[in-house]
Amino acid sequence: MNTTGIHFIDELALAEKTVFIRCDFNVPLDSDGNITDDTRIQAALPTIKRAIDGGAKVILASHLGRPKGKFNEKYSMLPVGERLRELLGYEIIIPEDVMDSHVDFLLENLDPKKQIILLENLRFNPGEKKNDPEFAARLASLANVYVNDAFGTAHRAHASTYGMVKHFDQKTKVRVGGYLIKRELEQLGQLLDRPERPFIAVMGGAKVSDKLSVLLSLVDRVQGLVIGGAMAYTFLKAKGVEVGASRVEDDLLDDAQAILRRATQSKVEVHLPVDHVIVENFDDEKGITTPDEAIPEGMMALDIGPKTQLLYANVLTDAQTVFWNGPMGVFERDAFAAGTFAVAQAIALSDAKSIVGGGDSASAIQKAGLKEEITHVSTGGGASLEFVEGRKLPGVEALRAHHEFDLG
């Protein structure tokens, strides 16, 4: 990853400054509004602490869920504020509407040693997703340092990740990346920049369509492609294997064939399941294991079978670099989670530099207690895929600073 022109928060003196930190507080909540996993809040702490310890006034901002441009209590930042208060011991002030001039008053009178402002869910304002210039300008007016630490939304050109950033283009009004984004760029960047071979990509999940472009990009760069999850059945069908009633994207059979052809041309091995755990109905509680790759008529595969687990583990043993995105089966249900956990275990056991794209694979790693064994678990699902594909992320590109920097 070319980080030329990107400065990071550790390069700045922050005393007397007002720092706007775009965080990723898009945490999962239960039906009572309790945070079920605070990993993303914990992950933001180093950057927040750097700002408060540096003596800055701090404004935190994030989106949470999909409130569709209007206030919805269900997606309020209140639980995030409460958790931040517990973790930092600071009073967390949450103004209702950032457009209200009351926020300027709060900011003016903020005690940087005791208080932090946390803006309400940015997506309560329709201007956030639309990248509305007025909304972006208002956000930018609040601070003289902009920090982006929300890698998970770096692939979106929204007001808080993109539009407001261009306002920080003066010696005394600057834009930088936070610690989290810095680590993501360093770690994921190594996958683009001559990764150690063999480089094996493990791709799973629901749809080929979501991952088509990353598959096309990876097939020329890896030495092996391991495919699982529902995606595998489109590939197996493209090869003429019976897949029964398994989930298949018929309109992508040609694309799957094209990927397989390109892999053959590039001498890249594509590993597909050789056995499966199948059910008659999606809701069946238990599955049965097939003896080989064929799936009987009317049956659907919900996980890779034990032979495939071994095969995939073997492929991963020799890897020097691994990128994993997407579960091998319906891992949310215990009866179909074995394949995903076997792959997680194999990646953890290998000596490879291992990078796990966010989302389901990250939660499988977490659930299996294997996080410590993985080189880097990305906080961004979609963002990490786009990055690995080699696409430029608007939130990262916007950080490149061409102006003179007063770092002191």
End-to-end CA distance of the chain: 27
Choice between 73 and 297, CB closer to ligand AMP: 297
- Which residues, listed in sequence order, are joined to residue 325 by a DSSP beta bridge? 203
Listed ranges 74-82, 91-99, 328-336, 388-396: which one lies at the site for ligand AMP (CB under 6 A):
328-336
- Going residue by residue from 164 to 203, which x/- string records binding to ligand AMP, judged by CB under 6 A? ----------------------------------------
Preceding omega of 79 cis (within 30 degrees of 0): no
237 binds ligand AMP (CB under 6 A): no
Containing 117, the helix (H) or strand (E) segment is: strand 115-118
Q: Which residue is nearest to ligand AMP (CB)?
A: 205
List the one residue from 163, 327, 380, 382 that touches ligand AMP (CB under 6 A). 327
17 binds ligand AMP (CB under 6 A): no
208 binds ligand AMP (CB under 6 A): no
Helix (H, G, I), strand (E, B) or coil at 377: strand
Instruction: Catalytic residue, from 54, 152, 163, 359: name it.
Output: 359
**Alpha carbon of 244 to those of 83, 233, 240: distances in Å?**
48, 9, 12
- Going by the DSSP 8-state scheme, the letter that residue 173 receives in this structure is B
Residue 40 annotated as catalytic: yes
d(CA 282, CA 280): 7
358 binds ligand AMP (CB under 6 A): no
43 binds ligand AMP (CB under 6 A): no
224 binds ligand AMP (CB under 6 A): no
Residue of 233, 201, 177, 235 whose CA lies nearest to 357:
201
Q: How many residues does the chain have?
A: 408
112 binds ligand AMP (CB under 6 A): no
Residues 249-308 that bind ligand AMP (CB under 6 A): 301-302
329 binds ligand AMP (CB under 6 A): yes
Choice between 77 and 356, CB closer to ligand AMP: 356
52 binds ligand AMP (CB under 6 A): no
- Do 220 and 258 contact (CB within 8 A), yes or no? no
Choice between 199 and 324, CB closer to ligand AMP: 324
Instruction: Catalytic residue, from 22, 40, 129, 156: name it.
Output: 40
Structure tokens of 401? 């600073």
400 binds ligand AMP (CB under 6 A): no
Residue 382 annotated as catalytic: yes
Choice between 163 and 287, CB closer to ligand AMP: 287
List the one residue from 11, 254, 292, 332 that touches ligand AMP (CB under 6 A). 332
Angle at 247 between CA 246 and CA 248, to 5 degrees: 110
List strand residue ranges (DSSP E) for 185-279, in order: 199-203, 224-227, 269-271, 276-279
Q: How many Cβ atoms sit within 10 Å of the Cβ of residue 169?
A: 14
Q: DSSP string covering 7-36, please? A: -BGGG---TT-EEEEE------B-TTS-BS
Q: How far is the CB of 324 from ligand AMP (least distance, A)?
A: 11
Applying CB under 6 A, the residues found at the interface with ligand AMP are: 205-207, 210, 229-230, 247, 301-302, 326-327, 329-330, 332, 359-360
Point out the residues that are catalytic: 40, 207, 359, 382
